A and B are shown apart, each in its own frame.
Chain A
């Protein structure tokens, strides 16, 4: 049965990369339109690098995504610690509140966030974007880390304490390494969510801080340009390249850690 699972999972990976493969092919298409093939060309890559405004939106999205994901992961880590380990009172209310951004349609949250920011007098820009994205990624980061913490064997930190380890040492040497994969998962998920967000960005972006998805969404009316295929291809290929250059082994030491569980 494990073999069936493995094959099914590999199929899912194929499913995940199917549109990406198509994207890579289209990005080399000389035609103005995706649906017709007119020969191989690097024309869209040239247009992409000449498109100053598109690249600026990419930078905005990267910065906002990194900051929001860091913030959400850190806040989520602290609160899931408090909720799971210390079983702070009022868990239900806190969880309910943290879920609200998932439930309320983004346009509603976006409009009311706009009201809050303009009432307080915070000008729309990087700060409001990061805060807005933190709000919508916080539930993801918290739930992912809570899941990991509640499956953690509670006897482990206790055993460490019994062996005379202080609270901080226990955390650093036992709890934290076990949680590292979950922290990584929370960060990645938060970053991807922020990086792809359209609606909250609509209402929290300001002069000169258009994000990449906003720019693309506004192009829907006139049609998406094939240079976006080139951009998508580059983002995927570059990330894969970085992973290979940094080295999978290195990556493990930086990110995975924890006792080898196999």
Chain B
């Protein structure tokens, strides 16, 4: 279809509703946060306005770099784990008979109707000293005490929390792949790995990219899981910002840290976009 003026107009019109929402409820708040990050805070928790660079200067403290580094590591790990597991599950669902697919999708999402904290506490009991896993380990003769708190429990719990966010976009993009491509690949003698490397992964690339984005970025803001399952000794950036906003009553400092996180993430996403584009261009060339 050639791009006509009418198409452009239709496209532009379709953008209007979301653009209004984004402008009023995302861009405006961001401007407020950006403004606040330069404001002077008063010890009562008020915001005195004015202009200062102190908030950003305070962020030079190595404490923040350390937390940032740990958080980024955690986010990368979570994005990889979720996307790999999500890919497997999405592929499984997308290759079932079409009438069973919605049911399987619902099965993925139903556990999330129970409250996040209730689920988390269920995990704590399951992984705790009185839980079945430790009980089983003891039966087999492994001297274990409790899996909570531990880094492993944090990773497990993050996977649990973010799995649907990984499965759904990958599934959505895989669902649209023509299944005859798989047969064609098989006819050409491509093995399982080759079929995936040549057909499924490239064609579901946008879903995979969404999955990485949707799991990597929000990990930074997680603040309950590290405390309940990780013992809370190593805070993520999310914990830190909550502390700045609440206990420290320092909105401007919290805003400044948020701006740093925001810019860092947007640059990462933009870079990832450029890299993907270059790679796809090379491949199609």
List the interface of chain A (C-beta within 8 A of B): 1-2, 5-6, 8-9, 12-13, 15-20, 22-23, 26, 34-36, 74-76, 78-79, 81-83, 85-88, 92, 94, 96-109, 111-113, 115-116, 131-132, 134-135, 138-140, 142-153, 157-158, 161, 178-179, 181-182, 184-186, 188-189, 192, 195-196, 198, 212-213, 216-217, 220, 224, 228-229, 231-233, 235-236, 239-240, 243, 248-249, 251-252, 255-256, 258, 260-262
Question: Binding site of A, secondary structure by majority: helix, strand, loop or mixed?
Answer: helix
Q: Say whether A116 contacts B29, CB under 8 Å.
A: yes
Q: Say whether B192 contacts A1, CB under 8 Å.
A: yes
Contact of B112 (CB < 8 Å), options: A6, A152, A192? A192
Q: Is B172 an interface residue (CB 8 A)?
A: yes
Contact of A157 (CB < 8 Å), options: B1, B33, B128, B261? B1
Q: Is B69 an interface residue (CB 8 A)?
A: no
Q: Say whether A96 contacts B270, CB under 8 Å.
A: yes
Q: Say whether A99 contacts B101, CB under 8 Å.
A: no
Q: Say whether A26 contacts B125, CB under 8 Å.
A: yes
Distance from A86 Cβ to chain B, minimum over Cβ atoms (Å): 3
Task: Please name all residues of chain B whose beta carbon is closer than 8 Å to the beta carbon of A252 when the two chains form the complex.
Answer: 98-99, 102
Q: Say whether B192 contacts A144, CB under 8 Å.
A: no
Q: Is B108 an interface residue (CB 8 A)?
A: yes
Q: Say whether B30 contacts A147, CB under 8 Å.
A: no
Q: Is B14 an interface residue (CB 8 A)?
A: yes
Question: Binding site of B, secondary structure by majority: helix, strand, loop or mixed?
Answer: helix
A12-B88, A16-B163, A19-B123 known; A236 vs B113 contact (CB < 8 Å): yes
Contact of B173 (CB < 8 Å), options: A83, A140, A142, A147? A147
Q: Is B114 an interface residue (CB 8 A)?
A: yes
Task: Please name all residues of chain A whose beta carbon is closer than 8 Å to the beta carbon of B100 when the two chains form the complex.
Answer: 248
Size class of the contact patch on chain B? 35 or more
Distance from A75 Cβ to chain B, minimum over Cβ atoms (Å): 4
Q: Say whether B8 contacts A86, CB under 8 Å.
A: yes
Task: Give Cα A192 to B107, complex, Å.
Answer: 12
Task: Please name all residues of chain B whose beta carbon is closer than 8 Å to the beta carbon of A145 when the two chains form the complex.
Answer: 172
Chain B 178-213, CB within 8 Å of chain A: the 1/0 string? Answer: 110000000000011100000000011011001001
Task: Please name all residues of chain A whose beta carbon is closer than 8 Å to the beta carbon of B173 when the two chains form the complex.
Answer: 147-148, 150-151
Contact of A104 (CB < 8 Å), options: B24, B112, B261? B261
Task: Please name all residues of chain A whose beta carbon is closer than 8 Å to the beta carbon of B270 when the two chains form the complex.
Answer: 92, 96
Q: Is B155 an interface residue (CB 8 A)?
A: no
Q: Is B17 an interface residue (CB 8 A)?
A: yes
Q: Say whether A135 contacts B21, CB under 8 Å.
A: yes
Residue of B nearest to A252 (CB): B99
Distance from B173 Cβ to chain A, minimum over Cβ atoms (Å): 4
Q: Is B275 an interface residue (CB 8 A)?
A: no
Task: Please name all residues of chain A whose beta carbon is closer than 8 Å to the beta carbon of B25 when the two chains form the complex.
Answer: 113, 116, 131-132, 134-135
Distance from B30 Cβ to chain A, minimum over Cβ atoms (Å): 6
